[in-house]
Structure 1
């Protein structure tokens, strides 16, 4: 997780309050911390959901098949788009929490849980009995960005990339590019929902994108058409243009 020098340890109640505040944004930021969720046996650690099971049902593989069928696209295209949706969940929650002054330890092996789903963002639940984190309010923004980049890369994006590539042949650079684009999307959505957090979130996102393994995957640009005036330009493509009638995304590297 983060280095002790980054900030003081956040109390469990502080971490939970920060996540509840993020959850209020809704959409890809939604994350439950309700203890009662633990009674639902369909929840499983996110890391276990992403890994290809040795036997039994494979919810991610099944969702991948559903996406491919629904889009009328090949499995590789569907895998890329599913990966972007999945990346948006952890990325959005962690960015928003950090922008609010708490960097939670949402370890996907034990803390952050998900369950099978058939559409929209994958549901997330953070076990309130295991919540820990770091109070980064007042910490050096560069240190916070470095810690956030490390947590996102090691704990969340790398396992996602491995899990998707175990099910479909997709370039790892495409998948990492999807995560970078998800970060930019989270900044814009959070800016609309919580204008008071926009500047901090943008600074953190810029810091993450300046560091490996996110460096070189995209940059923020001006977008007068968006209320925030903020856009994003990727150096990779999510392959959406290969969906029948899909076209090119606003941040696509193929737009010239």
Structure 2
């Protein structure tokens, strides 16, 4: 099946699957009279993935981590960085997996084509500037999401924050399993078992990828990760449904559990 230019069908799957293909409301295109006016377009994800220093405050990734920290009410930037990474990763997996399962093809999600509002609320607001269809197979999705986004995102986050690579890998695997689970639920509820089956098959292949292999165990649509995203450290937070911990860890004399 071909992609439709507006990717309209993705919107039927839920908020995490929506991908805009038109300019966001606050986008103000340049005109001849505004040739030298500031560019008000959201940054591309390629701009967000540039490694930085811990004290950089105005780059898109740092802006997003602060936005998440404020929303969660946590002073721990590594916790906010983990939650921010998982939120963006969930959006990328949802769009890619949803397109592959529904259309049999995926749009090119190159970081230079995706604009992102780091100051927006959840789920992350993404805007694709050009719809270029690609094959909807696991190899293409892995190259696009794992290599194109999650590698540079991990490097950029770790250059700014003290976040363990295994934690970020677990977040990526958890987000993938979550997207597949939502597609299974939607497919079975709408008489589209073909969508559910394609999503499940892709998820199994992708979780076997070297970048995700060993991050957790998938049983049917249920996933159990081998790391913790640190959400339990958010005020009023607890452990997630797929957490390696059955209950929130307690602090030890040597410091808080991680």
Q: Tell me the TM-score normalised to structure 2 length.
A: 0.78
Q: Distance in 1 between matches of 2:205 and 2:50?
A: 29
TM-superposed deviation, 1:113: 1.4
Do the aligned residues in 1 keep the contact of 2:223 with 2:242 (CA within 8 Å)? Answer: yes
Match of 2:116 in 1: 114
Aligned equivalent of 2:12, options 24, 29, 42:
24
TM-superposed deviation, 1:245: 2.9
Superposition RMSD in Å: 2.5
Structure 2 stretches of 5 or more lacking a match? 30-39, 248-258
After alignment, is 77-86 or 15-24 more displaced? 15-24
Aligned residues: 227
TM-superposed deviation, 1:236: 1.4
After alignment, is 71-80 or 34-43 more displaced? 34-43
Alignment partner of 1:67 is 2:68 = yes
Q: Tell me the TM-score normalised to structure 1 length.
A: 0.79
Q: Distance in 1 between matches of 2:162 and 2:235?
A: 20
Residue 68 of structure 1 aligns to a residue in which SS?
helix
Larger RCO, structures 1/2 (Cα 8 Å, 6+ apart): 1
After alignment, is 55-64 or 241-250 more displaced? 55-64
Residue 103 of structure 1 aligns to a residue in which SS?
strand
TM-superposed deviation, 1:45: 1.5
Structure 1 stretches of 5 or more lacking a match? 1-9, 137-143, 223-229
Q: Distance in 1 between matches of 2:209 and 2:108?
A: 20
Residue 44 of structure 1 aligns to a residue in which SS?
coil
| Residues 153-232 of structure 1 mapped to structure 2, 5 A cutoff | 153-195=146-188, 196=192, 197-221=195-219, 230-232=221-223
Name the larger-Rg structure: 2
Residue 160 of structure 2 aligns to a residue in which SS?
coil
